[in-house]
Amino acid sequence: MLEYILYAVGGFVALCIGLVMYSLVPNPMGYFRMRRVFNTKLQEYLKVPLWRPMDGSFHEMQTDLIGFFKRQLDYGNLFGVIPLWYVFDPNLILTKPEDMKQVLFGDDLQYYRDNTCFYVMHMVLGKGIINVGGMEWRNQHRILYKAFAPDNLMYFRPAFAARARKMVDTFKAHAQSGEPIDLLKTMNEITLGVMIDTAFGNTLSHEEQSEMRHHLMYVIKQTTNFVHQVPLLRYIFADHTQLKRRLGEMHSLVETSLIRRREGKSFGEVCEVKRHMIDLIIEANHSESEDGYRMSDEVMRDNMISLMAAGTETTATAMTWTLYFLDKYPEVYRKVREENMNIDLEHLAEPGDLTKIVPYLTQVIQESMRMCSPLGNIPGRRPFKDMQVGDLVVPAHVPMLTFAHQIHHNPQIWDAPEEFRPERFAKDGEASRDRLRFQPFGTGRRYCLGKYMAMAEMQVVLSHMVRDLRFEYAGTAEGITPAFRPPTIQPRDGMPMHIKLA
């Protein structure tokens, strides 16, 4: 009898331990995948111990990102690995252009991409284009590609300019106080405002827009709160319920906007844009296609939120770095200012790309994005089957990714990569179109759809800023340390800047 009681108690305890383990380890399969990765030929390349038993190279990435990338190239310029198995799958990092070409430009149906490793991001992106793969991706891509064609973006220029003018006025008023500002934070406010203006415009009232802004800011902030990764802990150490509620409210705001647009309602002149993103997507949805795919309202909603989430921090970070380099290289600043002194990008009839109008500013933005890529890594591609890549057989389901920063600073790919030289991007933008060497917007078939929009936004906003203002770095003498804050690479301690009138 006693025996049976002991068995029962033992079984119960084991079950409890199992449950607790299961709710604390978000990625139970990770360990086995890691074993498979390390049982491949990869071992030979790992000449130096690359990982700590639990948090892998993640610690190194947080404390010394640049060193981490450099050391990886020493490991034979083949692969690096992030074996943080208990949270993420081990990621293989592609460092050679030919491998990237195979994996990122090759047949997309051989790979899938799931962003479940970043739980909050996955939740926010929903069924939108960043999350899906296969045929669903191809269909959504056709519609969104059409909606975000460069020629459609001229409708957004007045919204970019209006925000920029407002900001310049605020900065001018602030300049008198002599207090430094946190430029990154301010830039985030501008890009978020621009996103909401251009996405919904007058289909949402001022109050609704500001609600959307607050929710989005909260949600974006939570994407880097890693407590959400862990099933049980996310309810104890993070406010997961609040996160879900705010996301739900954002959903209903997008739905409201869609309904009002269909009924032709608006809320007066909230901003001057004539066609908003929402209109462009609705229009593109009605265009003909062979297979008759149409985007459902739910998918449209998730895409609107994905676009806002993807287009805010990245663009703000890129503009912040650009202004940092303009301060560091006064000669470059002088030339940019001269170019933009008498240019009115807002009322230009020219459709599409502004690069021909402000060539030097464009080169400076591109070179700044090369030095400090706004997008840290592209999400990994996972092959459905074991796959030969370079010298290595990559086990099925193991994600392969690239880090733009590493590629942009690889001396085998760029000449003197540590030097700031906007002229690299002259010559008809040849270097900027080489999508293996230059990846600030990701690369391969799935590079960022908002690329032209982000470029136009940066050109218009920065063109306004350099005319009237100069920023002076107000941080410590050691300067700035770039750190990986997924998905962007940001100055680790923010970007304190003094504002001066130019």
Q: Are 353 and 150 in contact (CB under 8 A)?
A: yes
Q: Rounded to the nearest 5 degrees, what angle is found at the Cα of 19, between the Cα atoms of 16 and 23? A: 140
448 is in an annotated binding site: yes
Q: Of the two residues 74 and 290, which places its CB atom closer to ligand NAG in the complex?
A: 290
Kindly determine how many residues on this chain lie close enough to bind ligand NAG according to the rule CB under 6 A.
6
- Within 95-114, the residues that bind ligand NAG by CB under 6 A are none
Nearest to 203 by CA among 280, 282, 268, 299: 268
- Within 471-490, the residues that bind ligand NAG by CB under 6 A are none
CB of 305 to ligand NAG, least distance (A): 13
Nearest to 144 by CA among 126, 123, 157, 130: 130
Q: How many residues appear in the chain?
A: 502
CB of 275 to ligand NAG, least distance (A): 14
Give the C-alpha separation, 131 to 117, whole Å.
12
CB of 282 to ligand NAG, least distance (A): 5
CB of 92 to ligand NAG, least distance (A): 37
Mask: binding to ligand NAG, 282-301, rule CB under 6 A, as x and -?
x--x--------xx-x--x-
Q: Of the two residues 151 and 297, which places its CB atom closer to ligand NAG in the complex?
A: 297
Beta strands in 22-151 (DSSP E): 79-82, 91-94, 111-112
Give the C-alpha separation, 30 to 85, whole Å.
5
Nearest to 106 by CA among 449, 451, 446: 446
CB of 301 to ligand NAG, least distance (A): 8
Edge-to-edge strand list for the sheet holding 400-401: 79-82, 91-94, 400-401
Tokens (6 digits) for 125: 């992106």
Q: Are 292 and 214 in contact (CB under 8 A)?
A: no
> Identity (one letter) of the amino acid at 447?
Y
Give the C-alpha separation, 265 to 369, whole Å.
40
Q: Are 125 and 307 in contact (CB under 8 A)?
A: no
Nearest to 194 by CA among 374, 450, 440: 450
- Within 18-57, the residues that bind ligand NAG by CB under 6 A are none
CB of 246 to ligand NAG, least distance (A): 23
Give the C-alpha separation, 316 to 188, whole Å.
5
CB of 307 to ligand NAG, least distance (A): 13
Residue 192, helix vs strand vs coil: helix
Mask: binding to ligand NAG, 228-267, rule CB under 6 A, as x and -?
----------------------------------------
Q: Of the two residues 304 and 460, which places its CB atom closer to ligand NAG in the complex?
A: 304
Q: Of the two residues 207 and 290, which places its CB atom closer to ligand NAG in the complex?
A: 290
Q: Which residues contact 34 (CB under 8 A, 6 or more apart)?
A: 83, 85, 89, 90
Task: Check binding of 306 to ligand NAG (CB under 6 A).
Answer: no
Q: Of the two residues 282 and 378, which places its CB atom closer to ligand NAG in the complex?
A: 282
Q: Of the two residues 206 and 294, which places its CB atom closer to ligand NAG in the complex?
A: 294
CB of 144 to ligand NAG, least distance (A): 11
Q: Of the two residues 285 and 410, which places its CB atom closer to ligand NAG in the complex?
A: 285
Q: Of the two residues 189 and 279, which places its CB atom closer to ligand NAG in the complex?
A: 279
Tokens (6 digits) for 425: 């991007």
Write out the residues near ligand NAG by the rule CB under 6 A.
282, 285, 294-295, 297, 300
Tell me the binding residues for heme: 448
Tell me the binding residues: 448
